[in-house]
Structure 1
Amino acid sequence: MAKQPKPSSKKITHADVRMYRMGTGDCFIVKFFTGENKKKDNIFTMMIDCGTWQGAKEQLTKFIAHLKEYVAEDREDNVPTIDLLVVTHEHKDHVYGFDACSDLFVNTVKNSKNFVVNKIWMGWTENDNPAQPGDVLTEKVKQWKDEYGQRKKALNATAQALKERFGSDEQKIEADSKPNGLVAFQYNYADAVNQFADLHFSARAGVYTGDLEGMRVVKKEIANNNITYLHPGQIIDNVVEGLRFYVLGPPTTIEAIKKESGKDGETFSHSHNNSLTDNDAFATAMLNLVEPQSSGSVLPFDDTYIKDEKPEAYTRDNWRSIDHEWLNSAGSLALRMNSATNNLSLALAIEFIDSGRVMLFPGDAEFGSWESWHKDIKWPIKGKDGIKPLTEDLLNRTVFYKVAHHLSHNGTAKRQGVEMMTHPDLTAMATLDYDIISDGWKNTMPNRDLITDLLRRTKGRLVIMNENELMVGQDSGKKSLHEKILESREQLMNSAEKADFNDALTTEDLFLQVKVKA
């Protein structure tokens, strides 16, 4: 194990939050300092996720190599050491880097100068070996892993069936030549479902093989199963002097995990901003198609949430006549799986204890998770004055927000989220890049109402991975998002704020970085 920084009695002065620009997906390094002399004053280095939508090892290596140098440069031993690695959830755009560049992360006899990771945190649902039989949360972990895995298999079967039916080379040629025709719709639809499936699991030759390889690399090769699994309501203040961590998610109820969006005023408006119909019957039917021995519901936790609905008896011949309702079920299954996994995100609020300023890293949490932070967490009494730290208070004090789910309409709660972020120093960072993204996401990201609200609340301190091609406003008056951001900074910031923000922001080809004052 590499030599760890000595605890410092000096107060933390700032944090540098660096977002690597690998493509739509999260890869953050957060360094905490007690002064400006980086080699001496960097007391804690934290990494949050390492993912992107897609990319070959050759493309990603330059980012990971640069990241290694960056985390090693402040250390006397020059060993690239992560004091705390946080993996928020199992989606490709959050863990793919660990897969594609595993040889740069994992220490072996041949590569003994790779990363040293001192602590790893994940959400409670990632615990593959719960050690407390009979404990309610432990039993939920086991049931969730078993039954959620069945849902993944059902999604894989759905994606493969659509690909077989609509994804031939001939259909692609016709879709390209007639982009507005029925064949183009069917081909693109099948492709979109396959891309959603690709976010969730590893497969070989179309056969489901289990967890994403990036997650396996972290658990088995980087961590060697030495992981701390967190649950909402925990307050952790013994990691580094001057910081306190509040665990907000993932929720512990299936209702919250399955909840994609809220009512009017609770989430940002969008054409897809309605709760999805549940497709557990469809998922069960699909699973029985590929695994006839399977039986029972694939719903997690508790059958009190199951509607009185029986699966239609699909057979292999039904693949030859896929109708509108079938397509709706396939798409809705994919979207619900995506939302449920997003709501499994480990969501953290990091407080600078001396000032009370907060940095919020919610992964890709969607509305169900945000709502649960307010409704379900029973915060313990903390401190001799008996102050109970409430979620709303943490949001009021947030000065840095990692925007959840790439600026989508339901990745940030409205009333119980961004409207509570009232601090005048608020800065936001978003991991959206149209150069590397699923085509199916471009009609949902960025959400213009969320952009408008964030620009107003941050006074233009909204930092996006890649602003290229991003537009805001109605068709008749569209502006590039870059123009809108610059306009907001000019109109809403005073001269001192502009100077501070220009000093705080670093823009490079490989990364964007902001300095967050403690």
Structure 2
Amino acid sequence: MNIKQRRATVRIYRHGLGDCHLVTLYGKEGATYRILIDCGVIIGTSDATKMMTDVLEDVRKESGDNIDLLVATHKHWDHLSGFMQAKNAFSKLNVSEVWMAWTEDPDDKQASELRKDNDEALAMLQSAAMRLQMDAPDIEHPLLELLGFFGASARITTQSALEAVRNKSSNVRYCDPEDKPHDLKSFGAKIYVLGPPRDEARLRNMNAPKTPGDKTTYKMALDAFNQYLTPAINEDESHLPFSRPYNIPTQVAQTVPFFQEHYWNQQDWRRIDDAWLDDATSLALQLDNVVNNTSLVLGIELNEGDVLLFAADAQVGNWLSWGDRKWTDQNGTEVTGPDLLHRTVFYKVGHHGSPNATGRECGIDLMVNLAIAVVPVDHEMALKRKWGDLPFKTLMDALDQATKTRGYTLRTDQPPSNISLSRGLRSDPLYFEIDF
């Protein structure tokens, strides 16, 4: 494609299990508009600080240290960590405007109530994790894995990373799906906010579309935690499974020959020493999903109508809400959420290709013009974290089917296919780059 005909370039970083995307829009006489969407990687990534520094240094080089729009989609470590891990590089970026979802607006009543609920749940989960680490420091419990999404430590959290982004510009916008599209006339583009929805039932809906009204799972997990776990963590004897005279500390039991032979052996599945934390794990999973569903979802409409879709980690409730979305442009033309999906040519695949983060009937089936889908993923890291189905094979097959006649599907943890290279993909060990 002739450089003068380019409308946009998307650079997708290949730094591991996390998201970072640099979008460049082109105007007249070489003018550019740079959008940086997220910058993070999952806890446990080898040499994460160097990796994220490399990414942000590349962003600096490509953008000339000037980002017009910085987007923080939601409060998860694998989307925000780079802003803390690569502080020095990030400090040298000039940012004109910051966008976050309405859920992060400190003056929004509904957002404040949602944050209060989530913060209380997170505080309770952190107490459970501390108790787990005191009682059984060698256990690799799923609770600890899930809490990794909310920060590396008590000092460096997703909230601190979010504040680093918020403080990057005095021009901060909290995006709402009811907002009018952001018209970038000089660059032939408009940006539509599709989610997160305001409807609480949709925010709480992380399940398959067959249960669209379900909003009880999160509350049930929270109630179970409060009823059974909070007293146990606080060592209320009336709620412990055995009274104190019959309790044996884990560290002591591990030294007793009887337990060494009959308990800590090849049959770990029989152990129950951390079973009391099942309710905490359930709550942590639900909290993680709720935060995913607060993802700021953007559709960037280019001239001629093509759409670039960045869905962050939006789950089913977020996707379903787009079916109700309507806007009227300055010419009086109505644009709907399904219309934007119909014209989507590029899809940044949500939540690293997980099975519950891309709609089928409300998503892929509507993307009849999809040409390119990119999955930011690291399957080996997913296996280490016991998330072996990332990316989900059924989803990958559906994406391959949707893109095969017009383009291709990419995984950032795999080399590009010959077809993708023949169709204009530029490949570097640090990123993939695509022109539109």
| TM-score in terms of structure 1 length | 0.70
Report the equivalent of 1:142. 112
Deviation at 1:146, TM superposition (A): 1.9
- Partners of 2:217 and 2:374 in 1: CA distance: 27
Secondary structure (helix, strand or coil) at the match of 2:73 reads coil
Q: In the aligned structure 1, how far is the partner of 2:218 from the partner of 2:355?
A: 14
The CA deviation at 1:152 is: 1.1
Q: 1:289 to 1:98 in 2, by over 3 A?
A: farther
Corresponding residue for residue 226 of structure 2? 284
Contact (CA 8 Å) 1:151, 1:283: kept in 2 or not?
no
Could you tell me which residue of structure 1 aligns to residue 261 of structure 2? Answer: none
Assess, with a 3 A threshold, how the Cα gap between structure 1 residues 64 and 382 changes in structure 2: closer, same or farther: closer
Displacement after TM superposition at 1:235 (Å):
2.6
Alignment of 1:439 onto 2:384: yes
How far the C-alpha of 1:231 sits from its partner, in A, is 0.8
- Residue 216 of structure 1: which of 163, 183, 188 is its match? 163
What is the CA distance between 1:212 and its match in structure 2? 3.2
Residues 335 and 291 of structure 1: CA distance in aligned 2, closer, same or farther (over 3 Å)? closer
Q: Are positions 1:163 and 2:113 aligned together?
A: no
**CA positional deviation for 1:441:** 4.9
- The structural deviation recorded for 1:388 is 2.0
Aligned to 1:82, what secondary structure does the other structure show?
strand
Q: Structure 1 residues 332 and 265, CA, compared in 2 at 3 Å: closer, same or farther?
A: closer
Distance 2:274 2:90 in 1: 46
1:121 partner SS: strand
CA RMSD of aligned residues (A): 3.2
Q: What is the aligned partner in structure 2 of residue 18 from structure 1?
A: 11
Q: How does 1:235-384 map to 2 (within 5 A)?
A: 235-241=180-186, 242-264=188-210, 278-285=220-227, 288-289=230-231, 314=239, 326-352=276-302, 354-375=303-324, 377=325, 379-384=326-331
Q: Which of 390, 394, 408 in structure 1 is aligned with 2:336?
A: 390
Among residues 73, 76, 93, which one is paired with 1:115 in the alignment? 93
Equivalent position of 1:232 in the other structure = 177
For the structure 1 residues 101 and 438, does the alpha-carbon distance in structure 2 shift closer, same or farther, using more than 3 Å as the test?
A: farther
CA drift at 1:286: 7.6
**1:91 corresponds to 2:84:** no
Aligned-residue offset at 1:247: 0.7
Tell whether the 8 Å contact from 2:56 to 2:86 is kept in structure 1 after alignment: yes
Matched, 1:453 2:398: yes
1:51 matched to which residue of 2? 40
**Offset at residue 501 of structure 1 (A):** 5.7
Query: 2:147: which partner in 1?
Result: 197
**For structure 1, which runs of at least 5 residues remain unmatched after alignment?**
1-10, 73-79, 107-113, 131-137, 169-186, 267-273, 293-311, 468-481, 490-497
1:502 shift after superposition:
2.2
Indicate conservation of the 8 Å contact 1:235/1:245, yes or no. Answer: no
Q: Distance between the aligned counterparts of 1:505 and 1:194, measured in 2?
A: 38
What do residues 407-458 of structure 1 show as CA deviations (whole Å, max 9, x unaligned)? 00011011000111101x5201111013444733532311111110000101
SS in 2 for 1:262: coil
**CA shift for structure 1 position 86:** 0.7
1:402 corresponds to: 348
Aligned-residue offset at 1:287: 8.3
Give the 3 Å change call, closer, same or farther, for CA 328–156 of structure 1 in structure 2. Answer: same
The one-letter amino acid of 2:373's match is A
* 1:235 aligned counterpart, secondary structure: coil
- Counterparts of 1:428 and 1:58 in 2: how far apart (Å)? 27
Displacement, 1:62? 2.1
Are 1:506 and 2:426 an aligned pair? yes
Structure 2's unaligned 5+ residue stretches are 249-271
Aligned-residue offset at 1:65: 1.5
Paired with 1:23 and 1:422, the residues of 2 have a C-alpha distance of 29
1:464 maps to which residue? Answer: 411
CA distance in 1, matches of 2:156, 2:87: 18
Distance 1:91 1:210, change over 3 A: closer
| Corresponding residue number in structure 2 for 1:103 | 88
Whole-angstrom distance in 2 between the partners of 1:25 and 1:69 = 21
Task: Provide Cα deviations, 1:353-395, integer angstroms capped at 9, x if missing partner.
Answer: x3111110011001011011214x3x243344x4321111110
Please state if 1:41 is matched with 2:26.
no
1:7 aligned residue: none
User: Using the alignment, how far apart are the partners of 2:219 and 2:84 within structure 1?
Assistant: 33
Distance 2:286 2:159 in 1: 18
Number of equivalences:
398
Counterpart secondary structure, 2:8: strand
Q: Once the 2 structures are TM-superposed, how far is the Cα of residue 256 of structure 1 from its aligned partner? A: 1.3
- 1:263 shift after superposition: 3.7
> Aligned in 2, Cα 1:240/1:283: closer, same or farther, shift over 3 Å?
farther
Q: Is the 8 A contact 1:277 1:332 kept in 2?
A: no
Q: Report how far residue 163 of structure 1 moved.
A: 3.0
Asked if the contact 1:348/1:362 (under 8 Å) is kept, the reply is yes
Q: Is the 8 A contact 1:17 1:513 kept in 2?
A: yes
Q: Which amino acid aligns with 1:370?
A: W
Residue 155 to residue 13, structure 1, CA distance change in 2 (3 Å): same
Pair 286,350 (structure 1): closer, same or farther in 2 beyond 3 Å: farther
d(CA) in 2 for partners of 1:317, 1:96: 41
For 1:357, give the aligned amino acid. D
Which residue type is aligned with residue 117 of structure 1?
Answer: V
Q: Is the 8 A contact 1:122 1:230 kept in 2?
A: yes
| Preserved contact between residue 123 and residue 344 of structure 1 (Cα < 8 Å) | yes
- Taking the aligned partners of 2:86 and 2:231, their CA distance within structure 1 comes to 36
Give SS of 1:46's match: strand
Q: In structure 2, what residue type is equivalent to 1:426?
A: A
Change (3 A) 1:332 1:196: same
